């Protein structure tokens, strides 16, 4: 009987202990709310945008401006290299965005005049970096506020190759014209200074070359006038003396002029301009279903280096798999930059096809 009582008492204590243990486990534990780092994993996206952009607007160097309208088909004919990469990282509402686009172009032209041929190289680099914060996050769509900086670098290299034979012939004709004009004016009044107009020699450096040629000719005319004055003072026949002096100086002046022109027309010119444009913008996305979606973004900035910078993009996207996607859309980037002798008021725009992976 006692053994049964002890067994019953032990069973009661065991059940009571089990109930107390269960009561302790059911009590809620107080804990801090999860942070972004704890609640959301990082999500990364790497994509390659294929932007088939043309360029139109106004480009100028040192006050010499040109209106351009170059389609993508023309750019493609002179394309040496193109590289484009976009990367994004998202963790909860916080995001990081970066993009690099490099375009290398080159062209040459056969002139067959004083300048025999021209080789030109233009490289453009666009770098975009931004931080974003998700304002709206719904299963169907999202809206982000972005702020960042747009970097633009334009490098231009121009090689001029002169034609020594054409320059020598042009120099002789040029000096002959000067000599004829000088003889005529000296016959009329040896004290009058002839004003020989110097025409443009073409190209981006025509004004600089014209100025140098004019200074050179003025110097030679002054030297020639001194010699003629000396002959007149000695009583030598004016016409015959002028003829001999001019003829003897013609070949020497033509050769010197040819050397100077050949040096100025055989050179390499280059510019390397870059600037930063801060901007703010919005980026939105709407999911039609699990496969199809649309996304848009718009940015506006400038006011620091350029007067104005804006960019818009709209795409239709397809999720090919859970991690691979492709997008088709249209994109435009406009910049109005005018500083340090460079005017770059242009708009790049055209269709864009992007393929990427998310992990």
The predicted structure's pLDDT at residue 232: 61
The predicted structure's pLDDT at residue 224: 67
**Cα separation of 246 and 154, whole Å?**
50
**Cα separation of 47 and 355, whole Å?**
6
Nearest to 347 by CA among 50, 153, 58, 106: 58
Task: Give DSSP secondary structure letters for 109-120.
Answer: EE--SSEEEEEE
Indicate the burial class of 234 (C-beta count within 10 angstroms; 0-12, 13-18, 19 or more): exposed
The predicted structure's pLDDT at residue 309: 96
Torsion, Cα 184 187 189 191, to 10 degrees, reads: 90
**Cα separation of 121 and 321, whole Å?**
41
H or E element, residue 60: strand 54-61
End-to-end CA distance of the chain: give it in Å, rounded: 72
The predicted structure's pLDDT at residue 211: 66
The predicted structure's pLDDT at residue 79: 86
The predicted structure's pLDDT at residue 205: 54
Residues whose CB is less than 8 angstroms from the CB of residue 274 and which lie 6 or more positions away in sequence, other chains included = 151, 152, 153, 154
- The count of C-alpha atoms lying within 13 angstroms of the C-alpha of 198, restricted to the half-sphere facing its C-beta, is 17
Q: For the chain, what percentages of helix, strand and coil (3-state, to nearest 5) are there?
A: 30, 50, 20
Per-residue pLDDT of the chain (359 residues; tens, 9 = 90+): 444 434 444 444 444 444 344 444 444 444 555 454 456 899 999 999 999 999 999 988 877 788 888 888 888 888 889 999 999 999 999 999 999 999 998 888 787 777 777 888 889 999 999 999 999 999 999 999 999 999 999 998 888 788 888 777 777 777 677 655 545 544 443 333 333 232 222 344 556 666 666 677 677 767 767 766 666 666 555 556 666 666 677 777 778 777 877 777 777 878 899 999 999 999 999 999 999 999 999 999 998 999 999 999 999 999 999 999 999 999 999 999 999 888 999 999 999 999 999 99
| pTM confidence score | 0.69
Nearest to 317 by CA among 291, 297, 298: 291
Provide the H-helix boundaries in the chain.
2-26, 36-39, 72-77, 164-188, 206-233, 238-265
The predicted structure's pLDDT at residue 198: 28
Structural contact between residues 271 and 156, judged by C-beta atoms closer than 8 angstroms: yes
The predicted structure's pLDDT at residue 286: 97
């Amino acid at each position: 009987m006692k053994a049964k009582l002890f067994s019953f008492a032990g069973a009661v204590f065991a059940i009571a202990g089990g109930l107390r243990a269960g009561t302790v486990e059911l009590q809620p534990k107080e804990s801090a709310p999860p942070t972004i780092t704890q609640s959301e994993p990082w999500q990364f996206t790497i994509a390659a945008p294929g932007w088939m952009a043309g360029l139109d607007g106004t480009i100028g160097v040192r006050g010499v401006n040109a209106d351009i309208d170059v389609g993508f088909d023309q750019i493609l004919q002179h394309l040496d290299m193109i590289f484009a990469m976009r990367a994004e990282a998202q963790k909860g509402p916080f995001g990081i965005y970066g993009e690099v686009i490099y375009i290398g172009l080159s062209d040459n032209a056969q002139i067959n005049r004083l300048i025999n041929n021209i080789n030109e190289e233009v490289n453009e680099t666009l770098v975009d970096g931004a931080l974003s914060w998700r304002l709206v996050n719904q299963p169907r769509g999202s809206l982000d506020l972005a702020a960042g900086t747009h970097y633009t670098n334009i490098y231009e290299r121009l090689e001029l190759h002169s034609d020594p034979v054409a320059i020598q012939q042009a120099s002789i004709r040029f000096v002959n014209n000067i000599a004829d004009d000088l003889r005529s004016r000296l016959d009329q009044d040896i004290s009058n200074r002839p004003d020989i107009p110097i025409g443009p020699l073409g190209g981006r450096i025509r004004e600089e070359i014209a100025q140098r040629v004019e200074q050179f000719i003025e110097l030679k005319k002054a030297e020639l006038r001194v010699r003629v004055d000396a002959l007149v003072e000695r009583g030598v026949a004016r016409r015959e003396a002028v003829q001999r002096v001019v003829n003897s100086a013609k070949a020497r002046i033509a050769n010197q002029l040819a050397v100077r022109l050949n040096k100025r027309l055989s050179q390499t010119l280059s510019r390397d301009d870059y600037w930063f444009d801060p901007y703010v913008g919005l980026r939105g996305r709407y999911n039609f279903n699990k496969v199809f979606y649309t996304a848009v973004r718009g940015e506006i900035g400038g006011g620091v280096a350029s007067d104005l910078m804006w960019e818009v993009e709209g795409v239709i996207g397809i999720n090919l798999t859970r991690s691979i996607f492709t997008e088709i859309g249209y994109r435009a980037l406009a910049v109005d930059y005018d500083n340090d002798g460079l005017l770059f008021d242009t708009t790049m725009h055209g269709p864009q096809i992007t393929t990427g992976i998310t992990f």
